[in-house]
Structure 1
Amino acid sequence: MKESDKYHRWVEWSKEDRIYLGKCPDLVTGIHGEDPIVLYSELCTLIEDVVNHFKAAGRDLPPVKVRPMSEVA
């Protein structure tokens, strides 16, 4: 598993902004775009870049705090 894989990320539609938002609150504020599939790919690349930046700078990565919600029965 890559170090970046432990960070939860998702894409959601914003009715207010009328655009898709890509989020990974533990590492980045977020990004936006018109195509959810392209946006998810860009978000994954950004997360990988942030992780690599932290490693290159010799800094510890932020702790993982955000987790997916459990399925409700």
Structure 2
Amino acid sequence: MRKNTDIYLRWVAWSEEDQTYIGRCPDLFGGGVHGDDPVEVARELQTVIDEWQEIHEQDNRPLPPVRVRPSVEFA
């Protein structure tokens, strides 16, 4: 089932600086989640996104517009 938040770019990537995986969704919140297992980080990130949406719904606030778009490079 598609969620309203599926339109937002999110990613999980290894951080050499922090020596851990970091998950982010920059359109919804500035911070991120981190951990040793990228799959678990992705799950935690989705939980935070779902909580963010619930808070907006409870406060009768719309979700922010999509600003970050993936780019595609062609050779």
From 38, 45, 66, the counterpart of 1:64: 66
State the AA in 2 paired with 1:57.
Answer: D
Please state how far the C-alpha of 1:67 moved relative to its aligned partner. 1.2
Query: What is the TM-score with the length of structure 1 in the denominator?
Result: 0.91
Structure with bigger strand share is: 1
Residue of structure 1 in register with 2:45 after alignment = 43
Please state how far the C-alpha of 1:60 moved relative to its aligned partner. 1.5
Residue of structure 1 in register with 2:28 after alignment = 27
**Structure 2 segments unaligned to the other structure (5+ residues):** none
Please state how far the C-alpha of 1:46 moved relative to its aligned partner. 0.9
Query: What is the TM-score with the length of structure 2 in the denominator?
Result: 0.88
State the AA in 1 paired with 2:43.
Answer: S
Matched position secondary structure for 2:34: strand
How far apart, CA to CA, are the structure 2 residues paired with 1:55 and 1:19?
Answer: 32
How far apart, CA to CA, are the structure 1 residues paired with 2:72 and 2:50?
Answer: 25
What's the % identity of the aligned pairs? Answer: 48
Which structure 1 residue ranges, 4+ long, deviate > 2 Å from structure 2? none
**Structure 1 segments unaligned to the other structure (5+ residues):** none
Please state how far the C-alpha of 1:71 moved relative to its aligned partner. 3.9
